[in-house]
Structure 1
Amino acid sequence: MKLQLQDIPRVKTITKEDFIKHYYKPQKPVVIERFIEDWPAYSKWNLDYMKSVAGDKTVPLYDDRPVDYKDGFNEPHAKMKMRDYVDLLKKEPTRYRIFLWNILKEVPQLQKDFSYPNFGIRLMKGLPMLFFGGEDSYTFMHYDIDLANIFHFHFEGKKQIILFDQKQNKYLYKVPHSLITREDIDFSNPDFKKWPALQHAKGYTTELNHGEVLYMPEGYWHYMKYVTPGFSMSLRSIAKRPKNLSKALYNIFIMRHFDNVMRRIKGQNWIDWKNEKAITKTNNYLKNL
């Protein structure tokens, strides 16, 4: 048995009018296959190029270890020079990923390799972020704290994507006071005996290839697994729907700080309570179906 996933629609290219009408307004994901072929990045950006322009930069690394109460919000698990990290990616599978790396700040010359596309919505031009991963490394199922509209541009290799909208929360074993589901769920091969509610969740899937762009609507849950070593860049636009914007403000200004306070006060007991609550709340909903 598998997750109920439909393929994300694909188009070769798209006008801003069609994007707004068919994907942005109805808040549906789409993959645009040939939108950035005029960017210098399309032909230049690969792991070797990143090593050549940013090799001496120290980069923050994350792996798939469970959240620990001592970890700060988005605190890296390790650090490494970019040249050494690229060598590691090419040498062997590694769980280490680069997450939310601001290229405007770290390597300004990379700005010359891309432009901000006109999709008909205003993009936040100060926040182009890069994400790197090794073979079989993955991000936990999560949604972004600001519930932004995200355009995810992939470079080198293949990346498996699974998406759910916020309507599926009740089936996903969402951890309270956080942005993640239970971290011990393998969304690429879920155990339905252990996580029976997942059978009812309806989502989307695709594999991203070099130069393709994925649009993820506001607040979409996303699980991303690197089939091969590679990297992506995300551009974002703030949530426009009032419900999502208010939730984003709550997450940023209240939820995040409340969670950090509770970690300091209760330690690992707080993490354990949240993880247990994710199961009991989801199972209670399942009983009432």
Structure 2
Amino acid sequence: MALTLSEIERVKTISKEDFYNHYVRKQKPLIIEQLTSDWPAFEKWNLNYIKEIAGDKVVPLYDDRPVSHKDGFNEAHAKMKMADYIDLLQSKPTNYRIFLYNLMKEVPVLNNDFKWPDIGLRLVKQLPMLFFGGEGARVFMHYDIDYSNILHFHFHGKKKCMLFAPDQSPYLYKVPHSLISREDIDFDNPDYEKWPALKKAKGLVAELNHGEMLYMPEGYWHYMKYVTPGFSMSLRAFPRTITNLSKAAYNVFIMRHFDTMMRKWKGQQWIDYKNQKAIINTKSD
């Protein structure tokens, strides 16, 4: 039995007013297929191009190992030259991903390849973050610490995106004092005997193709799987409501530091406690 998922709505293009009124204000996901069609990146951005202009950069890599008390917050699991990493991506499936990497700071010429979209959101004009993954690489189910509205652009190949609205949290085995669900849940093929509450969850799904943009509203859970090797770029806008701004501030200034302190103090016992609480706190009846 598969999860209850509907296809994310798609448009080829949309006006700024319609996007804001029908999707941002209603906090409703959307894929815009042709937003990048006039960007230089649409023609240029592929793995070989990145290898050519950034091959000598040493990049942080992450895999899908379970969270350990020994890991720091977002601490990399390995490092590699970008050229070697892209060779790896193109040669075989790998779990190694690049996550939240500011490649444009390292290679400023990339800034000439994209345009800040005039789409009704006040985007934070920091340099965009990039994400890379090999065939089959997965990004566990989570939501973002800052509750941003996210414009997620994909390049080179295909990427599966699964979303759940914040009101679905009671069924997703959220781990307390963190931004993730239980990492041992396979969202592609869930075990309902083990995770019965997932039967009640209602989500959204889509496959992103080269150049397409996915709008993810504030606090939306998302799970990503690279169908083929590829990479993505995210632009962000701050949350629009005081409630979500407050949640973001709590996550950044309190929750993150409390969790780090508890990991150092209690070690693996703290991780095990949180994973157990995720089951206790989840509604399955």
TM category, shorter? over 0.9
What is the CA-CA distance between 1:190 and the residue it aligns to? 0.8
Decide whether the 8 Å contact of 2:105 with 2:127 is kept in 1: no
Match of 2:183 in 1: 183
What is the CA-CA distance between 1:35 and the residue it aligns to? 1.0
What is the CA-CA distance between 1:189 and the residue it aligns to? 1.0
Note the 1:1-289 alignment, pairs <5 A. 1-282=1-282, 285-287=283-285
Query: Structure 1: 5+ residue runs without aligned partners?
Result: none
Decide whether the 8 Å contact of 1:153 with 1:211 is kept in 2: yes
Q: Structure 1, residues 11-43: CA drift from partner, whole Å, max 9, x if none?
A: 001110010111000000000001111100000
Q: Structure 1, residues 160-206: CA drift from partner, whole Å, max 9, x if none?
A: 01000110110000000000000000111111111100010111000
Decide whether the 8 Å contact of 1:8 with 1:204 is kept in 2: yes
User: CA separation in 2, counterparts of 1:25 and 1:52?
Assistant: 41
AA aligned to 1:24 is: V
Cα-Cα RMSD: 0.7
User: CA separation in 2, counterparts of 1:96 and 1:34?
Assistant: 29
Q: Structure 1, residues 201-249: CA drift from partner, whole Å, max 9, x if none?
A: 1110000000100000001000000000000000000111111110000
- Stretch moving more, 102-111 or 29-38: 102-111
Moved over 3 A (4+): none
AA aligned to 1:65 is: R
User: CA separation in 1, counterparts of 2:236 and 2:34?
Assistant: 19
User: CA separation in 2, counterparts of 1:188 and 1:118?
Assistant: 35
Matched position secondary structure for 1:286: coil
User: CA separation in 2, counterparts of 1:232 and 1:53?
Assistant: 17
Matched position secondary structure for 2:167: helix
Number of residue-to-residue matches in the alignment:
285
AA aligned to 2:94 is: T
Matched position secondary structure for 2:192: coil
Decide whether the 8 Å contact of 2:160 with 2:225 is kept in 1: yes
AA aligned to 1:251 is: N
Q: Structure 1, residues 78-136: CA drift from partner, whole Å, max 9, x if none?
A: 00000000000000000000000113312111000001001111101114010000000
User: CA separation in 2, counterparts of 1:38 and 1:146?
Assistant: 30
Decide whether the 8 Å contact of 2:154 with 2:208 is kept in 1: yes
User: CA separation in 1, counterparts of 2:161 and 2:45?
Assistant: 21
User: CA separation in 2, counterparts of 1:215 and 1:29?
Assistant: 5
Decide whether the 8 Å contact of 2:175 with 2:182 is kept in 1: yes
Decide whether the 8 Å contact of 2:147 with 2:239 is kept in 1: yes
User: CA separation in 1, counterparts of 2:161 and 2:193?
Assistant: 23
Decide whether the 8 Å contact of 2:99 with 2:131 is kept in 1: yes
Decide whether the 8 Å contact of 1:104 with 1:126 is kept in 2: no
User: CA separation in 2, counterparts of 1:169 and 1:106?
Assistant: 37
User: CA separation in 2, counterparts of 1:126 and 1:21?
Assistant: 25
Matched position secondary structure for 1:27: coil
Matched position secondary structure for 1:104: helix
